[in-house]
Structure 1
């Protein structure tokens, strides 16, 4: 799974978090833009996004109980990546449009 690889690589390379992939939980959901919390995706980023997004979310809790949440927002028709987000204990520490 490409999204899981991104999550593991980003935590290891950007935040020096080593993990066991078997301890990562993940799920997928589709949300319309008006259902998305603005702390996750600010409304000023909505201009270039479709009406809804598919979210692949990955959750990992490290040895010191820090909760890491990775989010890939995908276009619902093409499955192209639109956004990448990492939260550390509920605070966004990385947010960028996908290349």
Structure 2
């Protein structure tokens, strides 16, 4: 499974932890916002995520007995990552809110599109004015 392979590589690269792939477990559940603990996804982050949401959890217990959990929320249908959280022994280490990044990217694309359309409209109007002036 690609998700587990990514988890193993990320654990090595980010946390310098060698992970035995066969000892990694994977679960996926649908949750309503009110069913999710703040440790997993804080309330202010939940507001930006779909309700209900699908949470994929990848878990590993290392040689020292520490439990590592990666929680990922993906968009239904597209599997586009919306949120990622890393937890070690019940303590949140890191998170990434991809929803904000996606919307910022969409807004930039929309603004660029508006600029291009406005530029084409301006050029078109100028051509019309010039063509009318000649006749």
TM-score, length basis structure 2 = 0.66
2:8 matches 1:8: yes
Matched residue, 1:49: 49
CA RMSD of aligned residues (A): 1.6
What is the SS of the residue equivalent to 2:78?
A: coil
Higher alpha-carbon Rg: 2
Q: Which has the higher helix share?
A: 2
Partner of 2:21: 21
Aligned partner of 1:34 in structure 2 is: 34
Cα deviation, 1:54-97, whole Å, max 9, x if unaligned, reads 11111111111111111111123433211111110111101111
| Structure 1 unmatched runs, 5+ | none
Flag the structure with more relative contact order, 1 or 2, with Cα contacts below 8 A and sequence separation at least 6: 1
> Any conservation in 1 of the 2:4–2:58 contact (CA below 8 Å)?
yes
Match of 1:59 in 2: 59
Contact 1:3 1:72 in 2 (8 A): no
Please report the TM-score for the alignment, with normalisation by the length of structure 1.
0.88
